[in-house]
Structure 1
Amino acid sequence: MKNINITIFKTIWILLFLIASCTDDFEALNTDPYGLTDEQSEADFISVGGPFNPIFLNIYRYDPAWQTQLQHNLNADTFSGYMAPPRPFVGGINTTNYGFVDFWDQFPWDVPYSSTGVMQNARLIKERGETDFPLMYALAQILRVEAMHRVTDVYGPIVYSKYGLDATFAEYDSQQEVYAQFFEELDQAIQTLSSDPTNNQFAKFDLVYDGDLVQWIKFANTLRLRLAIRIAKVDPGKAKIEGEKSLTNDLGLLETNADNFNIKGGITHPLTVFNSSWNDVRMNASMESILVGFQDPRLEQMFEVSSVSSGMFKGIRGGMPLLERYTEELDQKEDYEVFSRLGDSYILDKTPTTSIQLMTAAEAYFLKAEAALRGWSNAGDAQSNYEMGISTSFTQYELSSEASVYMTNNTNTPIDYIDPVNASNNINALTAITIAWDNADTNEMKLEKIITQKWIAMFPDGQEAWSEFRRTGYPKIFPVVANNSDGTIDTNIQIRRLPFPASERSTNPQGIEGARMLLNGPDTGGTRLWWDVNSGNF
């Protein structure tokens, strides 16, 4: 990685501010939160607030859509069991079936580390605002953690604490070290915001909560609980300490769908482009098995019925090469393109969403349900939290009246998958889990129910869903049809990470050598991350 010349970057910002001064709302943006009238102070305030926009828009990149496709969709969205491509790509051997494509696999890294990405802009905010604008700096800390926990959960070791400190190479931290810093930064940020929660200085730059710092504290608490749960198997003591900080915080967690962390980018969601314009994404067979099996009412909003099986939802097995069917000679090019598309929110001629969903109140309840299973203080009752998670998700889909019947269903189970195009892809359901809570179940069975319902509620955030699958083994996702990893990934265990990106191997070889030492395994997709110690035991 290469360091950005800060002087040049500041000059660019000054030019941008001069241009912005011609707009009608410059006076409102330039209102100094501390009552200072000095023109330089006003410019300083804008210089601190300006870098937030690219941070928001690069956690999950909005534009261009093809970069988002490589950042998330052709890896985590497929690995999580949410989606699958209906076409072969790269001769049928690609990352979705473990035949890694260097150019694809660097984008989860390159987007946040680019000159317009998260890390550079978070550093600018730190340099410009840590002393004079502590609230703004605290918000940047929260956003950096939200963005970069996704990156470490893809690769493992990342460049974090030492970012930008060395002009010759970028030194990596182990994932354990990164998580420790995440917790420290969230503690600091929550404490800072709590000192002045009614301050509205961030309102003009906020793409989520319109400057409401109480909402930001609730989000930060929930994010800390998410990360605490993430390390619950590898470091249960630390997980409990960090989780209980969130569970006992006076301002609490996300509680209703009004609290959901949705970035309002004002641009049509990239999934809409993949789904409607490019025909590059379809329902995954695991989604079909679970949602159709459960007769889940949310299914009709998440996906469309397919034309390959009239009136039915039909998914595609993940990791299919597809090439043998994708030929003009066989006249079967459209075979898998007529499987179920994503639903109305991602269809151009309907009402496509312009928001990116990165955390929901439903997830908060499922986090509390697991925390209760693990005996953490102030987590409440596992069953009540589990059912509130389902209910909150149903409310998000405007289906609240159907939640009570759904959550008491103790008969429906995931169904076997049948491929109407190629029977060799058929596979039996991997679990007989039901929906209704049963106190007689083992903790492991209860955990499977919690994570399966959390997986449904987090849709379409494939990155977080893939992380939870690796951590817990749930929900039970169908393995890839084709495994092109040359034996580096176990088909049944499935992919655990992406190899370090080609962009780093070429520009930061010294850093990469250190990173490989921190992995505790080869730099392949089969090496487990630090927190990935799932052994099937709660």
Structure 2
Amino acid sequence: MFRKNNIIILIPLLAFMFSCTDRGYEDVNKNINEITDPKPIHLLNSAFGIFNSSSTWSTLAELSHQYAETSNQAGKYYRFDTGVWGNYKANLNLNDVINRTKDSQDETDRMTYALAKIFRAYAFQKITDCYGDVPFSEAGVIDDAGAFNVTPKYDKQEEIYTATLADLDEAIDIIGDKSLTLALGSADRVYGGDVQLWKKFANSLRLRMAMRIRFVDEAKALEVLKKVWTQPLIDSPEEAADYENFDEPGYYYYGYVGLKAETRTNASKMMVDFLKSNSDPRLYSYALPVQQGPMAGQYAGLPNGYDGGTNRDNFSYAGKVSYQKTLPTINLSYSEVCFLKAEAYLFGLGVAKNESEAQMYYAKGIETSLNFWRRPDTFVKDGAEVSEPLYSEQDVTDFMSSSAASLSGTQEEKFKMIAEQKWASLMTNWVEAYAEMRRTGYPAVKPRVVGEELSLGDTQGQWPRRAPYPDSEMLNNQENYDKASAATDGNSMTHRVWWDVR
């Protein structure tokens, strides 16, 4: 994993200088230290931002029922902006890198090309899962005259999945067994330039995407899974694709600044109730005790979309552990890989059905998440300020001995257990949590009805199945927007994306 103090910082090239036509003036004003032809590897640096960004905590955090507020547009089922849309613009830099390196035989260039393909696949997996059809093939494209395409067409989600999976195949083949650490400097706060770890991430991303589409195109999913099982996956918590954050200005976890006031958002009732029902110790990291009222000192989540008059102090606020300064930005965790494997073994997807393997990976997924969230927190204990985890190793051991950690019932009931535990583990990875809830149907979100003091919003109480395209597209890319809008029932939030069929 990346460690900031051990790697030389490289500054990415941000702009080119234009030369003057007067030869003498040009010579006088030329900076002899200027880099006029940057190496492609340096152009990757700006693309790492996609690994340290997510939806704003107040949008998909609401729809995935992990946080809750009383005035949030998404939580009230009104039109909202996820903050994910802009990821497709990262394709401009990535396309530049790909074009510069696609024909090179230099080993560093080949690895740079592979990483650019991986980054692009990851960025578009996030954005298409939020919206459905989005600009892809023409996104971030510059024509022969050097003009940027500001009106890209919208590609079908199925086509985007096919193209990005092919990109991942190519990247994995290029990296092969080569052991190389790229000089990416402080930008790579995920793997520190280790191409073999990036290969594991790429293959784990293939696993995620194959499982995402298995209900809509099982043949394609199995085709991908057969490749996945031949390559190494993320195999430990240390190999997780976490973007590392530090206790220094400019290096904080992106959610810290918005939530540090401790009263900015509440813990969701759905999450709190789920954890309480299983005596799950992550409750203490995900939520704070109620400050006042009849539930003071206990844990009570706020219902998402609550539309009645209330004092939010009567409900649990979000736990401080979930937005610490140094909390890693979670992109693809080892616990997620374990849950994906558990599902594959339960149903025999690309591998033989094996209930014991399903149980083993299910338990590993839970235990990994419990250990990850057993993070030190600062609080007052016996009159003194201490910094220690809010639950103990024994709490983890006890939970792993409980019925919640053992698959039981019918195949569908076991699948429900896997899906819900995965959802609980995806705290702060809201793009993925929201996608998995739609894919699996678990945990189920009931339609809202009149009389519950819950906002019905623009969807008449139906849980949104996709993020709406931003209004800016109507102004900047109207022709293509109109086509995409028509294909989604007028940019409806209840229109299901391609793989959402359960």
Is this a same-fold pair by TM over 0.5? yes
Corresponding residue to 1:97 among 76, 89, 100? 76
TM-score by length of 2: 0.80
SS in structure 1 opposite 2:243? strand
* CA positional deviation for 1:406: 1.8
SS in structure 2 opposite 1:73? coil
1:158-173 mapped onto 2 (5 Å cutoff): 158-163=134-139, 164=141, 167=149, 169-173=151-155
* CA positional deviation for 1:52: 3.0
Name the counterpart of 2:242.
262
Tell whether 2:253 aligns with 1:280: no
* CA positional deviation for 1:243: 1.9
Q: Is the 8 A contact 1:106 1:500 kept in 2?
A: no
Name the counterpart of 1:355.
328
Name the counterpart of 1:124.
96
1:44-443 mapped onto 2 (5 Å cutoff): 44=37, 46-61=38-53, 71-85=55-69, 87-88=70-71, 94-101=73-80, 105=81, 107-109=83-85, 111-114=86-89, 118-132=90-104, 133-163=109-139, 164=141, 167=149, 169-202=151-184, 205-249=187-231, 252-266=232-246, 267-277=251-261, 279-308=263-292, 309-322=295-308, 324-325=309-310, 335-337=311-313, 339-346=315-322, 352-353=325-326, 355-378=328-351, 381-398=357-374, 401-410=394-403, 434-438=404-408, 441-443=409-411
Name the counterpart of 2:27.
none
Gaps of 5+ in 1: 1-9, 16-38, 62-67, 326-334, 411-433
Structure 1 counterpart of 2:71, one-letter code: P
SS in structure 2 opposite 1:390? helix
Residues 241 and 445 (structure 1), Cα distance of their counterparts in 2 relative to 1, 3 Å cut: same
Name the counterpart of 2:28.
none
Tell whether 2:474 aligns with 1:505: yes
* CA positional deviation for 1:271: 2.2
Q: Is the 8 A contact 1:72 1:462 kept in 2?
A: no
Q: Is the 8 A contact 1:152 1:158 kept in 2?
A: yes
Report the identity percentage. Answer: 28
Residues 264 and 168 (structure 1), Cα distance of their counterparts in 2 relative to 1, 3 Å cut: closer
Structure 1 counterpart of 2:438, one-letter code: R
Structure 1 counterpart of 2:465, one-letter code: R
Q: Distance in 2 between matches of 1:60 and 1:506?
A: 29
Q: Distance in 1 between matches of 2:158 and 2:271?
A: 32
* CA positional deviation for 1:307: 0.9
Name the counterpart of 1:13.
15
SS in structure 2 opposite 1:210? coil
Q: Distance in 1 between matches of 2:152 and 2:238?
A: 40
Q: Is the 8 A contact 2:290 2:298 kept in 1?
A: yes
Q: Distance in 2 between matches of 1:194 and 1:394?
A: 33
Name the counterpart of 1:4.
none
Q: Is the 8 A contact 1:282 1:340 kept in 2?
A: yes
Gaps of 5+ in 2: 1-11, 18-32, 144-148, 375-391
Q: 1:169-211, CA deviations, whole angstroms, 9 ceiling, x for partnerless residues? A: 2111100001111110110111111152334344554220111
Tell whether 2:440 aligns with 1:472: yes
Q: Is the 8 A contact 1:437 1:446 kept in 2?
A: yes
* CA positional deviation for 1:528: 0.5
* 500-509 or 368-377: bigger deviation: 368-377
Q: 1:265-285, CA deviations, whole angstroms, 9 ceiling, x for partnerless residues? A: 542223222322373222000
The alignment yields a C-alpha RMSD, in angstroms, of 2.8
TM-score by length of 1: 0.75
Structure 2 counterpart of 1:280, one-letter code: R
